[in-house]
Amino acid sequence: MNNTLRAALLEGRPVFGSWLQSGNSAIAEVMAKAGFDWLAIDLEHSTIDLETTFTLIQVIDLAGCAPLVRLSANDPVQIKRVMDAGAWGVIVPSVRSAAEARQAVDAVKYPPEGTRGVGLGRAHGYGPGFADYLRACAEGSVVIPMIEQKEGVEHVEEILAVPGVDGVFIGPYDLSASYGVMGELGHPLVREAMRRVVEAARVSGKAAGIHVVHPPGTQVAERMAEGFGLIAYGGDMLFLTPAAREAAKELRSLRD
Ligand code: 3PY
Ligand code: MG
């Protein structure tokens, strides 16, 4: 771990990442070498287990890309295990309050900043890198609560004020569901909630993030113009599906 990702977030420089939902190390390798700044291993909406998460973190890290984990829940035990495996940080689903954000920070950071338990893992070079990792973790580990419910939007200023929180990240689908307009990502209620989150992030000097789930990439430029700097774009399966369909369609057109 180094502090490049965290420094970019706190300096307001845009960072681009994507999402991994397959637990396949070759796909992770392709994605990590593609040029994204970071990749998030999605433990919330996939069947990826902890042992596979370890391998994916290893592949992403060794390819020179920042490995993040989107947790399945705000669980201090899961946070400790993925951080010990070498994740550079966590994206925490469905954070609704400052207390929940603080719980995630506590689990990522060692005392005195947090309460993370101390053990030796891959993050610590399996032992000899312990002192270096303590420094790297204090300087570079990233905690990004997701704002995906109305309650989270209503508390976004307090969530951003928690020390150790480096930004917030909107889950557009859950957010739309929370406002009763599931899947209508451009609905005025959703757009207004997003504006509040971006404005709160701007005022706090921290990053506003969003998942632009589907191509086209033109939406990315629009989100950046709105003030989003932490951009997740697509995902491994979201890239593969249209490419495979297009190839099959082209082949069928030669026959049908
Ligand atoms: C959502 O849209 O709710 C997400 O969590 C996307 O990552
Ligand atoms: Mg979500």
Q: pLDDT tens digits, residue range 4-49? A: 999 999 999 999 999 999 999 999 999 999 999 999 999 999 999 9
Return the amino acid letter for 190: V
What DSSP line would sit under 11-69, residue for residue?
A: HT--EEEEEE-S--HHHHHHHHHTT-SEEEEESSSS---HHHHHHHHHHHHHTT-EEEE
Task: Judge whether residue 246 has pLDDT over 80.
Answer: yes
* CA-to-CA separations, 199 to 39, 157, 180, 196, 203, in angstroms, rounded: 25, 9, 23, 5, 6
Establish whether residue 238 lines the binding site of ligand 1, counting it when its CB lies within 6 angstroms of any ligand atom: no
Top CATH class of 4-255 equals alpha beta
Predicted local distance difference test score (pLDDT) of residue 217: 76
Q: From the CA of 91, how far away is ligand 1's center (Å)?
A: 11
pLDDT at 125: 97
pTM greater than the 0.95 cutoff? yes
The Å distance, Cα 172 to ligand 2 centre, comes to 7
Q: Which residue, 159, 24, 185, 38, is CA-closest to 103? A: 159
Give the pLDDT confidence of 96-126 residue by residue, as tens digits.
999 999 999 999 999 999 999 999 999 999 9
- Asked if residue 148 has its Cβ within 6 Å of ligand 1, the reply is yes
How high is the pLDDT of residue 204?
Answer: 97
pLDDT tens digits for range 177-228: 999 999 999 999 999 999 999 999 999 999 999 999 887 778 999 999 999 9
Task: Point out the residues that are catalytic.
Answer: 45
Closest ligand 1 atom to Cα of 45 = 5
What separation in angstroms does the CA of 109 have from each of 11, 164, 181, 201, 205? Answer: 21, 8, 37, 22, 21
What average pLDDT does the structure give for the chain?
97
